[in-house]
Structure 1
Amino acid sequence: MAKNKKKLLMNTKRKLVTKTDPKSPISEQYKTIRTNINFSSVDREIRSLLVTSAGPGEGKSTTAANLAVVFAQQGKKVLLVDSDMRKPTAHYTFNLTNTFGLTTVLTKQHTLSEVTNPSDVENLDILTCGPVPPNPAELMSSKAMEHFLVEAYQAYDLLIFDTPPILAVTDAQVLANQVHGTVLVVSSGTTEIDSAVKAKDLLSSTKGKLLGVVLNNREVKDTSYYYYYGKK
């Protein structure tokens, strides 16, 4: 039992590298993504981000969590919303319970302030998914989601939504129409090119703005890169 708990803790540390090792090369890459997102908002301030992937296991939840951390480290008041109502994971990443969350807010069982969780990262709050509903896409496109966004914008500078893979279900497409920008995560050596292109096309066909693509799990062979960042 103790061994399993230790393994879970180590996995969480690896996922939240921006928190556990903020000067590492990987953390620097998340900061670069943050900078690129900030530059993309010249004409309109980005107050909400959707993070999705083409298929499962490509690192979207890890990317969403680490982006939330680096934006919070910049001084923004950030809310990470686990809106993957098919396979929620934020409660594991941040060691929280998932009894209440986004779904209980949308169904008016709780208020937003009642179910948000402060994290041990300054300026970062977490809203877990809550009980998995039978109708995720309907909840995403509901008036309740519109009201949720209005209320959340009043309390936070930036909302980051972790959604299901876009090729699996329609949830990400539905929510992309309601947020200010979308980030697509693809995994090097795993995501098929056709799948990545199809995911991009689906996102581009929405009214939402595709900010860019994050290439995950890319092997870096140039050791000078590590040396450069190691000097910081």
Structure 2
Amino acid sequence: MPTTLKWPLITKQNPKSLIAESYKGLRTNIDFSRLDARVKSIMVTSAALGEGKSTTVANLAIAYAETGRSVLIVDGDLRNPAMHKIFNVSNDKGLSNVLFNTAELEKNIQQSRTMNLSVLTSGPVPPNPSEILGSRQMEALMDEVKSQYDLVILDTPPILPFTDAQVATPLCDGVVLVIKAGGESRKDIAKAMSSLEFVGAQLLGAVLNQANRKTLASAYHEQ
């Protein structure tokens, strides 16, 4: 994706921009990544912190919702949740409450301002995020929402510092890895991909985020 985003939801606020078109292109690439069946659930993670994965989740979800498909974002980043901030909705209750049986799922799924797009925020940050994402309750929740929506996008913490993404991999049909241009080294990116492959992840694609023309030119000429 080119340059730093001026708005987190640029796919909605400036739909004809080159950045918005990049997210639509990502949507198309994901749709054609599997010939056997339509992708129903996507996990989005990054190699490290600050790569822009949550912004990618939000804009990709909007790109899908605009095709008429019903889309649900599940904020599974129970360490540093961002969806309630991006969509300006309440996070008093959310995923963690539902999993601990202190709130009902249906009553805590919130509608965004984009038609066909709903959000299940993280809820209060728990002390054991990886155990929660790997629980039977989380598996049951994902099965339930996948039966109700055309597409579920799960936002998870970065893969190198935490195990959460690896634990959550079986919950989704495939994974999108977000990489910040000029960020992590090739060695760390390779390590992140190896970690996903180790747990049998179906890698749907990698997003080069916050890239500019100079960065892309350097990458092209690099041996």
Count of matched residue pairs: 211
Counterpart check, 1:68 vs 2:64: no
Return 5+ residue gaps in structure 2 as ranges: 215-223
**Residues 12, 125 of structure 1: alpha-carbon distance in 2 compared, 3 angstrom cutoff:** farther
Counterpart check, 1:210 vs 2:199: no
The equivalent of 1:77 in structure 2 is 70
Displacement of 1:96 in angstroms is 1.1
Displacement of 1:154 in angstroms is 2.1
The equivalent of 1:90 in structure 2 is 83
The 5-angstrom pairing of residues 38-187 of structure 1 reads 38-187=31-180
**Which has the higher mean CA deviation after the structures are superposed, 146-155 or 81-90?**
146-155
Displacement of 1:41 in angstroms is 2.4
The equivalent of 2:29 in structure 1 is 36
Matched residues in 1 for 2:147 and 2:37: separation? Answer: 17
Counterpart check, 1:190 vs 2:183: yes
TM-score, scaled relative to structure 2: 0.91
Give, as a single letter, the amino acid of the residue that structure 2 aligns with 1:61.
Answer: S
Matched residues in 1 for 2:164 and 2:173: separation? Answer: 16
Matched residues in 1 for 2:18 and 2:25: separation? Answer: 11
Say which SS state the counterpart of residue 208 (structure 2) adopts.
strand
Displacement of 1:205 in angstroms is 1.1
Percent identity at matched positions?
47
Say which SS state the counterpart of residue 43 (structure 1) adopts.
coil
Give, as a single letter, the amino acid of the residue that structure 1 aligns with 2:153.
Answer: I
Matched residues in 2 for 1:195 and 1:39: separation? Answer: 28
Displacement of 1:171 in angstroms is 0.4
Return 5+ residue gaps in structure 1 as ranges: 1-10, 222-232
Displacement of 1:13 in angstroms is 6.6
